Amino acid sequence: MTALEDAPVPLSAAGNPIGFGRMHRKEDVRFLRGEGNYVDDVQLPGMLYGAILRSPYAHARINGIDTSAAEALPGVKAVITGAVLETLGLAWMPTLSYDTQAVLATDKVRFQGQEVAFVVAESKYIARDALELIDVDYEPLPAVADAKKALDADAPVIRDDKEGKTDNHIYDWEAGNKEETDAAFANAEVVVTEDILYPRVHPAPMETCGSVAHMDPTTGKLKLWTTTQAPHAHRTVYALVAGLPEQNIQVISPDIGGGFGNKVPIYPGYVCSIVGSIVTGKPVKWMEDRAENLMSTGFARDYHMKVSIASTREGKIQAVKVDVLADHGAFNGVAQPTKYPAGFFHIFTGSYDYPAAYCNVTAVYTNKAPGGVAYACSFRITEAVYAIERIVDCLAAELKMDSAELRLKNLLRPEQFPYTTPTGWEYDSGDYEKTMRVAMDMAGYDQLRAEQAEKRARGEYMGIGISFFTEGVGAGPRKHMDILGLGMADGCDLRVHPTGKAQVRLSVQSQGQGHETTFAQIVAHELGIPPEDIEVIHGDTDNTPFGLGTYGSRSTPVSGAAAALVARKVRDKARLIAAAALECAPDDLEWELGRWYVKGDPERGRTIQEIAMDAHGALELPEGVEGHLDAQVVYNPPNLTYPYGCYICVVDVDPGTGQVKVRRFIAVDDCGPRINPMIVEGQVHGGLADGIGMALMELIAFDDDGNNLGGSFMDYLLPTAMECPDWELGETVTPSPHHPIGAKGVGESATVGSPAAVVNAVIDAISPFGVRHADMPLTPANVWRAIQGSPVRT
Ligand code: PCD
């Protein structure tokens, strides 16, 4: 399959690769001109505007809500409360993890920023003014914001709405073999244990969440434009929850200004806009602002991990175990396959070869916003990679061994693939050492270490951090994976028009990653139709086949496979039609890109465009071949794909201020063949910036009363170009053996792999002060405190 990359790809008349290659993004024609069409751009005649009243308290009983003054404000059309929703059976909704979540609070508020009432008015300003006229009688209750206190006997019970619930425990879950792991630890020469926090962070997409709902009172059809990464799954959930007939619901996900997992859940605001439209008979738009997005929509991580590693004195790893306390906030709103309540966390064994591993995860409710979404992470793999890559560095420090040498000693070897991990994953393919050597060569690893030694002697603190990660992306095989009972297979339809131009309909939704380009390239690669002649249609449930949506980097592994296979189906049909036109047997035909021709007589052939016309024209088609040139498939992946990579980060730390400067970042990714290398590099750039943000500055903190201290971009810091070095990217290409084009997902790789490299580099820099670990974010204050010997531990 490497040959794919090497083979020269013919160019179309427009200069685009007819197949894989660096094609400019089709969608940029509108994005770069500011002409994208986002939910907030939707304008409908008679449209009204919604706004949400949110709780100022993290925990309080609601004794009453007086909406009369708000209702009396001119321009207000409706004020909806939990009590109103109760009459419709909609005060509570299911989460994607089989929990329940309040749409509008009825009994209590359980986190600061929780939805309490929804105003519908003629303008968004009137709607916001009306919020101030709603009088809620709150009775404040003690709050628990610290997961470690959530299971204390005297902790307030948050979910007393659940019958018989007397504590804040959600679930216990385990993976791996406890006995074997304990035995390995009991006999180990070296054991290192560290408490490692992956703090709560937020996906913070550029576009916040929102929706426009229009329930047509005449036809009974609900049209919902909404910021969703999973339009089909959302439609089914609305049908199930609200009892609306599914064929009467059309979910449209237009251009989405970034998702990063934030737009996978169904939020109360979406439901309120629907109810608002039902109540008023008019379209209702609801768009949250930045503070609302940061305070109430799906957060990520919040994993308190106790990680232990056992090894020989020579550095051969023997076992790893992890104890996790997972903070889920007030409602368990995680979106992930049902069978795995802790997501894919049990991939924490990483990229190394050892026989025993075990983890157990205990999840708790706290008075914080719900979520636990897979922010640029295939269901908790970011936490897993961080745990193993941090503890391997701690082990290197303990053994006084170079961290690259320790990794090289333990990496899985190419002949071990397909490799089954001690916790049950089957890695499909990999040549890890090769990738690591490429990264080390690009970095000039030995010179960097020499430079570091020289600088240390002068009292300068330079650090080198490595992270080697393996991800499992492309959820997932139906036998193992569903969300709310919906299997994770994806449909794809392809229609070639009489003139040879095509439309491909996807079940997945793009939120910026370039599907309109890359899926056209996949079809071009299989059929030889120029990518500019192929329109990619997505994000509208009335016009696309069913599928579970875009997250966990699943589009290329699942829908990308579906697109390749549907094109191959069309190619097979085209062969039968070409044979009829050429008056020969299908077996006598040979394929070259864009054309079937007669074996041994290459002049005699039909191009795919000619075949398309034949398929719609007067040509007499063979027995059993229907007219037209189209096909559809539903693809159920046999396994996940396992992209991987090696990242090396170089930092300089100012010990006087704790300031970290990321000087270099080398990222070598292996995601199999790259459909569009330029898009892949863009994906990696974005993820690396994310990683710097999480490692060095992003944090949603809470005070003891549950007040959110990260509710604006003044407090919740995002990285800018100033904090990012010039990324140095490399690649190796190891195809997935089970994917039709060998491609693995890559959209989240850099976010998953980079935080550990940055933190490892910072700790390496300040290790002369005796520091072995400090928690993210490594802000100047936290680094300074770590240097002083009292790292901040949350
Ligand atoms: N690719 C290529 N090649 C290969 C792979 C891939 O070319 N081999 C490309 C494709 O096609 C696309 C991209 O790249 O275009 C990506 O891919 P993937 O990996 O498959 O992924 P998807 O599914 O598509 O996507 C998703 C992701 C995610 S998941 C996230 S977070 C993020 C990423 O994506 N997000 C975002 N990226 C991005 N970008 C942008 N711009 N925006 C956004 O939002 Mo999650 O779970 O949701 O959390």
Query: What tens digit of pLDDT does each residue of 259-275 get?
Result: 999 999 999 999 999 99
3-state secondary structure of 437: helix
Cα torsion 105, 109, 111, 116 to 10°: value is 40
Asked whether residue 531 carries a pLDDT value surpassing 90, the answer given is yes
Q: How far is the CA of 731 from the centre of ligand 1 (A)?
A: 17
Q: How far is the CA of 515 from the centre of ligand 1 (A)?
A: 8
CB 421 within 8 A of CB 427: yes
Predicted local confidence at residue 371, as pLDDT: 84
Residue whose CB lies within 8 A of the most ligand 1 atoms, among 5, 513, 519, for a mutation test: 513
Domains of the chain: 28-36+489-635 (3.30.365.10), 39-141+208-255+263-296 (3.90.1170.50), 385-473+641-788 (3.30.365.10)
State the Cα–Cα distance between residues 681 and 687, nearest whole angstrom: 10
Which residue stretches of 265-402 are H helix?
A: 268-280, 290-296, 381-399
Q: How high is the mean pLDDT of the chain?
A: 97
Average pLDDT, integer, range 521-529: 98
Amino acid identity of residue 330, one-letter, is A
Amino acid identity of residue 282, one-letter, is K
3-state secondary structure of 354: coil
Per-residue burial over 18-53, b = 16 or more CB atoms within 10 Å of its CB, e = otherwise: bbbbebebbbeeeeeeeebebbbebeeeeebbbbbb
Query: What tens digit of pLDDT does each residue of 468-485 get?
Result: 999 999 999 999 999 999
Q: Which two tokens stand for residue 531?
A: 């990518």
Q: Would you tell me the crossing angle of helices 561-582 and 608-616 to the nearest 10 degrees?
A: 70
Asked whether residue 2 carries a pLDDT value surpassing 50, the answer given is no
Q: How far is the CA of 330 from the centre of ligand 1 (A)?
A: 29
The atom of ligand 1 lying closest to the CA of 378 is: 46
Asked whether residue 4 carries a pLDDT value surpassing 60, the answer given is no
Q: How far is the CA of 611 from the centre of ligand 1 (A)?
A: 34
pLDDT category, 662, cuts 50, 70, 90? very high
**Strands 317-327 and 356-364, sheet pairing:** parallel
Q: Residue 758's closest CA among 669, 699, 680, 693?
A: 693
Cis before residue 245, ω within 30 degrees of 0?
Answer: no
Percent share of the chain, pLDDT over 90: 97
Average pLDDT, integer, range 152-166: 97
The atom of ligand 1 lying closest to the CA of 375 is: 48
Asked whether residue 7 carries a pLDDT value surpassing 60, the answer given is no
State the Cα–Cα distance between residues 20 and 742, nearest whole angstrom: 12
Binding pocket residue ranges, ligand 1, CB within 6 Å: 205, 229, 258-261, 374-377, 511-515, 518, 550-556, 671-672, 674-676, 679-680, 683, 686, 743-748
CB 470 within 8 A of CB 503: no
Angle at 638 between CA 637 and CA 639, to 5 degrees: 90
pLDDT category, 641, cuts 50, 70, 90? very high
CB atoms within 10 A of CB 722: 5
Asked whether residue 120 carries a pLDDT value surpassing 90, the answer given is yes
The atom of ligand 1 lying closest to the CA of 256 is: 44
> Does the interface predicted TM-score (ipTM) exceed 0.95?
yes
Q: What is the DSSP letter of 507?
A: S
Instruction: Name the β-bridge partners of 255.
Output: 38
Query: What tens digit of pLDDT does each residue of 563-583 get?
Result: 999 999 999 999 999 999 999
Q: Which two tokens stand for residue 657?
A: 């201020």
Asked whether residue 5 carries a pLDDT value surpassing 70, the answer given is no
Query: What tens digit of pLDDT does each residue of 727-762 get?
Result: 999 999 999 999 999 999 999 999 999 999 999 999
Predicted local confidence at residue 487, as pLDDT: 96
Query: What tens digit of pLDDT does each residue of 701-725 get?
Result: 999 999 999 889 999 999 999 999 9
Predicted local confidence at residue 614, as pLDDT: 98
The atom of ligand 1 lying closest to the CA of 260 is: 31
pLDDT category, 794, cuts 50, 70, 90? low
Q: How far is the CA of 480 from the centre of ligand 1 (A)?
A: 23
Q: How far is the CA of 519 from the centre of ligand 1 (A)?
A: 12
Predicted local confidence at residue 790, as pLDDT: 82
CB 126 within 8 A of CB 73: yes
